[in-house]
A and B are shown apart, each in its own frame.
Chain A
């Protein structure tokens, strides 16, 4: 599974992208988020926000959205284009 991070989140985590070969038991996008949050700083505080958006396969999703190993997840702050 590919996980992408954008904008302020990408900078705070100093990570654009990572690949998971194993879901480590994660069934939903929220499970993935929980696993990322348990890495300690800066992951725990940067990802512990109500203003975090998640997409699964390039569509806005919720933390309850089911995931599988072939999916592309992304976490990012609210959008500010235009």
Chain B
């Protein structure tokens, strides 16, 4: 079993999950991760996903994000728990925005702190890969012609599956 700091604390689940319409500050999130375990942290890895101008079609001007309240948080906690079983993590933070988002806005934040960079890098990628494959969010891309729901990509399922090899 990994020597996970938080798994030793009875019934205290690792990590913070926030589904919100509001934007977030990467620096604020980073400082929270940094100060939570100041003497033990050796590495913090963060990922931010952004709205870009192409998706299933070119000319994307923004998007609308929908989710399944309750199941989303539950599914993200399961992903954090699986990451914490696999790597030695001190803390995890996931923020996912929903609602209307404009071009270049921030969509998602994943931050992981650990004693070692290898654990932080791997856990951050693992959490993002499973978030894309399993968490109940749906994107609708908007362009000048209107808006269309994004098709799920096999490549996203494949990226998550590679972790089970």
Is chain B a partner of chain A in the same complex?
Answer: yes
Neighbouring B residues of A74 by C-beta, 8 Å: 68, 71
Contact with B along A41-58 (1 / 0, CB 8 A): 000000000010001001
Q: Are B68 and A6 in contact (CB under 8 A)?
A: yes
The reply on B134 being an interface residue by CB < 8 A is yes
Using a CB-CB cutoff of 8 Å, which residues 1-56 of chain A contact chain B?
Answer: 4, 6-8, 10-11, 51, 55
Which of A7, A10, A58, A82 meets B131, CB within 8 Å?
A82
Shortest CB distance B16–A (Å): 18
The reply on B67 being an interface residue by CB < 8 A is yes
Q: Are A82 and B108 in contact (CB under 8 A)?
A: yes
Q: Are B68 and A81 in contact (CB under 8 A)?
A: no
Neighbouring A residues of B66 by C-beta, 8 Å: 6-7, 10
Which of B49, B107, B135, B140 meets A79, CB within 8 Å?
B135
What class of interface size applies to chain B in its complex with A?
20 to 34
Which of B70, B71, B132, B149 meets A82, CB within 8 Å?
B132
Given A79-B152, A82-B107: A8 touches B138 (CB 8 Å cut-off): yes
Given A6-B66, A7-B66, A58-B70: A82 touches B138 (CB 8 Å cut-off): no
Residues of A within 8 A of B (CB): 4, 6-8, 10-11, 51, 55, 58-60, 74, 76-82
7 more CB-based (< 8 A) A-B contacts, given A80-B132, A82-B49: A7-B140, A10-B66, A55-B136, A78-B152, A79-B133, A80-B150, A81-B108
